Amino acid sequence: MPQFDDLSRSLVALDQNATVISVVELSRDKWLVGAIVPGITRDPLKALVPDPQALIKLLYRWRDEAVKAGCKIKRIVVGFEAGRDGFWLARWLRARGIEAYVIHPTSIPVSREQRRAKTDRLDIALLKRALLGWLRGEKKHCTMAAIPTLAEEDAKRPHREREQLVGKRTGIVNRMKAALVRLGIRGFNPKLRKAAEQLATLQTPEGTAIPPNTLAELKREMEHLCFINQQIKQIEDERLRDLHDAPKDAHHVAIQTMLQVKSLGIETADMLASEAFARQYRDQRAIARYAGLTGSPDESGRRRREKGLAKAGNARIRRGMIQLAWRFLKQQPDSALVQWYRARVAAGKKSKIAIVALARKLLVALWRLVTIGEIPQGLVVDAA
């Protein structure tokens, strides 16, 4: 189920004498597990192979030691940083009755010294301090990452894979153009349908054909480009087929709802449905903060200065919404949001700052459209 964006502190009272608090430093070759166990004066520390069964046996062993020491254990809490291993371990532990939390790495305070020591043991101490403060309910002590379900994670794969393929396609096109420019050939577009046929007819300004090694390289790049285009087309066709086959799915309903808005295509709608609207938020500030569209103020005494975007949220949502805001200006020039943007710019506000504010307002409007089902003021929806 979607979770509310209230992960800055725990809302459950902590009884430390009845709770085994454990943290895990995850790496590729080993897991270093540390804990605070009631009734035991030492702070146990154990290195394990990356095996969840070994981890849960260790947690149960520490629980039994606390029970032998006379403590009644009611909770076992495990925390670890978000990273390469993802969220599968947290879901696996929760399915077995153990509280598992994924700590946002940027919320853990570290020393700013350039030559500070950096070891797994020191990281374990920082994780324990952060998790213990969060469990005590200390506000903004550290922040937990929302743990998505397997279906929510899988829904993000198509548009993320397509994004990577588009980046690879751009790299191939740029390499081909650079290779031709070195020979003095300009104006060739590798993305055209008949570009492969035109390669053999190209000539340098000196009147000679493309050298054989360079021509062979360009042909291989062209084959790679065609293959990537086929993969992108396959992802797009499968997405359309899924929308047609399961129109009542919650993810697909959100996409279809946003597609009613002019200037919003299926790529942006799919990204927002899976990245932004897969979870619930308390208010519009929470969704803007998660998207990274809030400001980064610098205020001290009389000095008040806006340093720009905080860039602490989801980069994909932030990038997509700013691009959507620029398209929105062209395709919905008569909407209330565009009129608001123009009034701000006319009053002397910088366009780059105003476009971020427009992106934030547009995201909130789309959030209301998806969650409430009502068309907010400022959005123009197709009559069809």
- What does the pLDDT profile of the chain (384 residues) look like in tens digits? 344 455 777 878 889 999 999 999 999 899 999 999 999 888 899 999 999 999 999 999 999 999 999 999 999 999 999 988 889 999 999 999 999 999 988 888 777 776 777 787 888 988 999 999 999 988 778 888 889 899 889 999 999 999 999 999 999 999 999 999 999 999 899 998 888 888 888 999 988 999 999 999 999 999 999 999 999 999 999 999 999 999 898 889 999 999 988 888 899 999 999 998 887 777 788 888 888 888 777 777 777 776 666 667 788 999 999 999 999 999 888 888 899 999 999 988 888 888 988 999 999 989 988 888 777 766 767 644
Pairing of strands 144-145, 31-36: unpaired
300: left (phi over 0), alpha (psi -120 to 50) or beta: beta
User: What is the model's pLDDT at position 2?
Assistant: 45
374 contact partners, CB below 8 Å, separation of at least 6: 368
User: What is the model's pLDDT at position 180?
Assistant: 93
Amino acid at 192: L
Q: Identify the DSSP state of 184.
A: T
Positive/negative CA dihedral, 279, 284, 286, 289: positive
Q: Check if CATH label 3.40.50.150 holds for domain 16-147.
A: no
User: What is the model's pLDDT at position 307?
Assistant: 66
Residue appearing with tokens 């980046």: 167
User: For residue 109, how far is the Cα from the chain centroid?
Assistant: 21
Q: Identify the DSSP state of 281.
A: -
User: What is the model's pLDDT at position 33?
Assistant: 95
Q: Is 324 exposed, middle or buried (0-12, 13-18, 19+ CB in 10 A)?
A: buried
Question: Whose CA is closest to 181, among 195, 212, 202, 198?
Answer: 202
User: What is the model's pLDDT at position 113?
Assistant: 72
* pTM for this prediction: 0.82
User: What is the model's pLDDT at position 114?
Assistant: 67
